[in-house]
Structure 1
Amino acid sequence: MPPFKEIVSFLLNLLRWLGLLVPLAVVVGSSCALFLWMLEWVTHYRFVHPAILYGLPFAGVAVALSYYWWGGRAGGGNNLIIDEIHKPSEGVPLRMAPLVFIGTVVSHLFGASVGREGTAVQMGGSLASSFATWFRLDKRSTSILLTAGVASGLGAVYGTPITGAVFGLEVLTLGALDYSALLPVAVTSIIADWTCHQWGIHHAVYPVTFKGLAAPGQVPFHVDAVLWVKVAIAAVAFGFASRAFAEGVYRLSPIIKKICPTPWLQPAIGGVATILLVWLLGTRDYLGLGVMAPEAGGASIVNFFSTAHYDWSWLLKLVFTVIALATGYKGGEVTPLFFVGAGLGNALAPVLGVPGDLLAGVGMVAVFGGAVNTPLACTVMGVELFGGTNIVYYATGCFIAYLCSGHTGIYLSQKVGVPKIWRPDFVPGIALRRTREGIWKEEPKV
């Protein structure tokens, strides 16, 4: 193709993509803004009216019934979207967006220990799939648009647009990135985050005051060797926590299904268990997102960055969240993973002699990275949330946690492009759900 025609073709293709991506980003960003506003409102209402917790079993059953009656394929959640990106087929149903939106808001109103990333990703993915259907895109373009929807949802809901872009690419396949989709995915995530901000939405601030700079009179350098080793030791624990979280959900779910084969009744078990745990512990700190505590000084993500010390809060949040997710409550896993990681960092800081706010920040992104197998995206998240001064420590935490979490994760539809530790029997492209079972190559099709 002559250079002039090639340039014209590129510009026309660029305009075509902008015509798709900009409206998608605005819709996703606006949806996330409404979602975050609703979450803030219901969380405040629950703080003021703590007795609403007693309605959690009934609320869970109501949401489960809505999925049972109307959900269909929408019940596949994030894994369905990842499957559709890998191999577009029937598409992601548009009803996934309102179902997960309402289900998550109801779950948080009554106190389920769930997150918000799943909702944002599913809204972005279902809206992107509908755009692809309306504009009759081919499979390759559909895959890119779905990835952009995922990225824009995550980027807008956390205020981390570059993280969203890298996450959208990295979450699909362990050890491999498709850079051909990088620009459209990044553009969508950035515009969605900007749109969300224009609606007046502000995200929580996590203050990391530690700056890894040299003392007066010393040559400045970006890393302290002893501190780096201590962070690396903590990162092993962060990786194991990631694995415990993911495995806890997958091992408890079959037990719940065996006890109660009726899907829409299973949330009642989680609701009752949550109420009993609140009675036993005498605290509401582990309900909902956990970004802020219902009472001053309580365990929360923000408070883990203070000088206060919380020994076992990370483990208690893990238990609350595993119960909620295994019994079918909607919302997601990432914000609870933030709580687990920041809480574990807070607990380990005095033991290792590491600044508490630094290790809370490292743990927050590292546990997330280990559980979703996205170490690069979570390193970028550390920079977007806390600043770039301590990037060596964030990267160390995320990379080591990624390796130590093993071949498991909260999204079992992920493909394995390169295993974390090389195996001679490995076949590229196998699903994570298979490797978790110890199967590293697909059986030949008859």
Structure 2
Amino acid sequence: MLNEHKNNVISIIKWFLLASAVGCVVGVLDAAFLKILDRAISFRNGIPLFYILLPFVLYGVALLGRKVAKRHTDYSTDAVINKINSYRSISFISIFKGFTLSIVTMVMGGSAGKEAPCADVGAGVSSILARWVRMSPQDQRKMMICGVSAGFAGVFGVPISGALFGLEVLWAGHIFYEVMFPALVAGITAFQVTSFLGVDYIYHPLHFVPVFSEQFFLKMIIAGMFFGLISILFIEITKFTRVLFRYIALKTRLFWACVTGGLLLVAVGYFISPLYLGLGMPGIESVLGGAAPESPFGFLYKMITTSVTFAAGGIGGVVTPIFFVGAQAGAMLADFLRVDSATLAALGLVAVLAGTANTPLSASIMAIELFGADIAPYATVACVISFLVTGQQSIYPSQRISLEGGKTGDAPDASSSNYDTPLRPAKIPYRKTMFKQAFKKMVKHLIPNPKGFDDEK
């Protein structure tokens, strides 16, 4: 008994030191990435029609990402999830690709987010450190999870929810409690380091004391259902666009797929608004400040530009576009529900994240970290309902699901053989059936279930 407690204390000290080291290293790299990105965007904003070269930029990014060092393509959050779930490490070349090519994509107008490079850098650096000290595969995996948590916490300034996101996003329906302590230490450390280095974050405390009533609570339930449908729409548009552009690349060449996507993005920027290109932070900050959205279809434009960017070869994260979609959709819904616009924009930001990424717990805590404690009960309700409405859909194809058939499945066992086996996505149908299969699948998920919620989760 005494030996068991002694081993637990030693393990806590060990992982505290390791996680602190990971948080410091990832925090410095996060700060460097964010400062380079901010300066590049500031310089770009002074250039009119900065997005005009997107067709050729996307082709160049696709060539460098996919054709150069073909084995090293783990520069997206989904790829990191797949690597962690299959106990495989991330190479330095993948880290370098994710760090540099994502900056090029976002600065030149591609609609992408900034969290994937930081999560990829965090997981990659952690795996390299773990190999240097010759850790076991299980401990290497823990280190990579700490790196993802530190990267997410440092990039958005949310140490608690950022750490939990790294645990929750790997396996929907299960949280790896054995990694929670080092993940929290890594996330908090990374946040403190990035803050010390002068990184600014979005904080919009909502100074309101809502009067609880059945009518207001019903509005929050309706909002949660709406955000769940928005999540499904985003996921299905992303899937359909990926199949469509893969079809174009197979029928013609990669060049024409990239050019087609780039021209669509240029058309959106020129004829609609450049607000829906690039990182999109002004579109998030404006509606969180209470301003009306520039267009009632702003969330739909962002879905399209984000999906096209990734399908046409762009590199980056998807969480920042999810924030944009959720905030814009919430601000649009506020007019119909007659609720404060900033409040629903904040709820939409976290609820759409909960639905698309299957992370209701971390999204609920993120609402507290970004918008204050007053919004907590309403954000939790909206996040959970959005999560339930989404069903087993996910913006990350490599994410695993622990809940099937409406019943709670057994928690994944790290020692089991099926846990080590990577989840392989279904093969893409051959050319002639691509459109038919993709269209049927999209329609199936977009038409509401007459029985109500999808009870498979």
- TM-score, normalisation: structure 2: 0.85
Partner of 1:380: 365
Consecutive unaligned residues of structure 2, counting only runs of 5 or more, are: 413-417, 427-437, 445-457
Distance 1:162 1:409 in 2: 22
Contact kept, 8 Å, 1:167 with 1:377, in 2: the verdict is yes
Residue 230 of structure 1 is matched in structure 2 by 219
Matched, 1:342 2:341: no
Alpha-carbon distance in 2 for matches of 1:263, 1:60:
10
- Residue equivalent to 2:125: 127
Indicate if the aligned counterparts of 2:202 and 2:370 stay in contact, CA closer than 8 A.
no
Is 1:247 the counterpart of 2:236? The answer is yes
Contact 2:75 2:98 in 1 (8 A): no
Of 360, 368, 390, which residue of structure 1 is paired with 2:375?
390
Equivalent in 11, 14, 17 of residue 13 of structure 1 = 11
For 1:233-382, list aligned pairs within 5 A. Answer: 233-261=222-250, 262-263=253-254, 266-281=257-272, 283-292=273-282, 300-310=283-293, 311-382=296-367
Q: Distance in 2 between matches of 1:207 and 1:383?
A: 9
Query: Cα distance 1:146–1:388, how it changes in 2: closer, same or farther (>3 A)?
Result: same
Q: Which moved more, 1:320-329 or 1:335-344?
A: 320-329
Q: Is the 8 A contact 1:84 1:143 kept in 2?
A: no
AA paired with 2:155? V
Cα separation, 2, equivalents of 1:46 and 1:242: 31
Query: Which residue in 2 is equivalent to 1:116?
Result: 114
Moved more, 316-325 or 382-391: 316-325
Measure the CA separation in 2 of the matches of 1:238 and 1:409: 14
**Which amino acid counterpart does residue 263 of structure 2 have in structure 1?**
V
Relative to structure 1, the CA distance from residue 264 to residue 121 in structure 2 (aligned partners, 3 Å threshold; closer, same or farther) is farther
- How much has 1:207 moved relative to structure 2? 4.5
Structure-2 separation of matches of 1:180 and 1:225: 40
Distance in 1 between residues matched to 2:346 and 2:189, nearest whole Å: 26
Deviations 1:354-374 (A, max 9, x none): 111111110000011111000
The amino acid that maps onto 1:80 is: A
The amino acid that maps onto 1:161 is P
Letter of the 1:277 counterpart: V
Is the CA contact (8 Å cut-off) linking 2:119 and 2:148 kept in structure 1? yes
Letter in 2 for 1:314: F
The share of aligned pairs that are identical, in percent, is: 28
Equivalent position of 2:140 in the other structure: 142
- Partner of residue 435, structure 2: none
Measured after TM superposition, the shift of residue 6 of structure 1 is 3.8
Task: Give me the whole-angstrom Cα distance separating, in 2, the residues matched to 1:391 and 1:9.
Answer: 38
Note if 1:80 corresponds to 2:79.
Answer: yes
CA distance in structure 2 between the aligned counterparts of 1:226 and 1:170, rounded to whole angstroms: 32
- The residue identity in structure 1 corresponding to 2:265 is T
The yes-or-no answer on 1:412 pairing with 2:397 is yes
Which digits, 9 at most, give the CA deviation of each residue in 1:415-442, with x for residues without a partner? Answer: 1111383499xx99795956x989xxxx
Q: What does the per-residue CA deviation read over 1:251-281, in whole Å, with 9 as the maximum and x for residues that have no partner?
A: 1112111112344663332221111122222
Q: Aligned pair in 2 of structure 1 residues 320, 357: CA closer, same or farther (>3 Å)? A: same
- Counterpart amino acid of 1:187? V
* Structure 2: distance between partners of 1:264 and 1:184: 44
Q: Could you say what secondary structure the match of 1:332 adopts?
A: coil
How many residues align structurally?
Answer: 416
Partner of 1:202: 200
1:394 shift after superposition:
0.3
Large movers: runs of 4+ above 6 Å: 427-430
Unaligned runs of 5+ in 1: 215-222, 293-299, 439-446
**Distance (Å, rounded) in 2 between the aligned partners of 1:76 and 1:119:** 7
Equivalence map 1:415-430=2 (5 Å)? 415-419=400-404, 421-422=406-407
Output the amino acid matched with 1:333.
V
Residue 60 of structure 1: aligned partner: 58
CA distance in structure 2 between the partners assigned to 1:432 and 1:416 by the alignment: 13
Q: Is the 8 A contact 1:71 1:99 kept in 2?
A: no
Secondary structure of residue in 2 paired with 1:376: helix
How do residues 208-219 of structure 1 correspond to structure 2 at under 5 angstroms? 208-212=206-210, 214=211
Give the corresponding residue for 2:164: 166
For residues 243 and 79 of structure 1, the distance between their equivalents in structure 2, rounded to whole angstroms, comes to: 17
Amino acid at match of 1:64: A
Give distance in 2, aligned partners of 1:433 and 1:74: 16
SS at match of 1:411: coil
Mark the CA change 1:248 to 1:314 in structure 2 (over 3 Å): closer, same or farther.
Answer: same
CA apart distance, 1:198: 1.0
CA distance in 2, matches of 1:58, 1:245: 26
Q: RMSD between aligned alpha carbons?
A: 2.4
Against the structure 1 CA distance between its residues 224 and 131, is the aligned structure 2 distance closer, same or farther, given a 3 Å change threshold?
farther
Residue 8 of structure 1: how far off its partner (Å): 4.0
Instruction: Provide Cα deviations, 1:6-38, integer angstroms capped at 9, x if missing partner.
Output: 444334333332342222111111111111112
Structure 1 match to 2:431: none
Conserved in 2, the CA contact under 8 Å of 1:56 and 1:271?
yes
Q: 1:27 and 1:267 mapped to 2: Cα distance?
A: 35
Cα distance between partner residues in 1 of 2:256 and 2:348:
35
| CA 420–314 in structure 1, closer or farther in 2 if over 3 Å, else same | farther
Q: Does the 8 Å CA contact 2:74/2:120 hold for their aligned counterparts?
A: no
Give the drift of 1:71: 4.7
Q: Which amino acid aligns with 2:395?
A: I
Listed one character per residue, the Cα deviations across residues 113-137 of structure 1 (whole Å, up to 9, x for unaligned) are 1111111111111111111211111
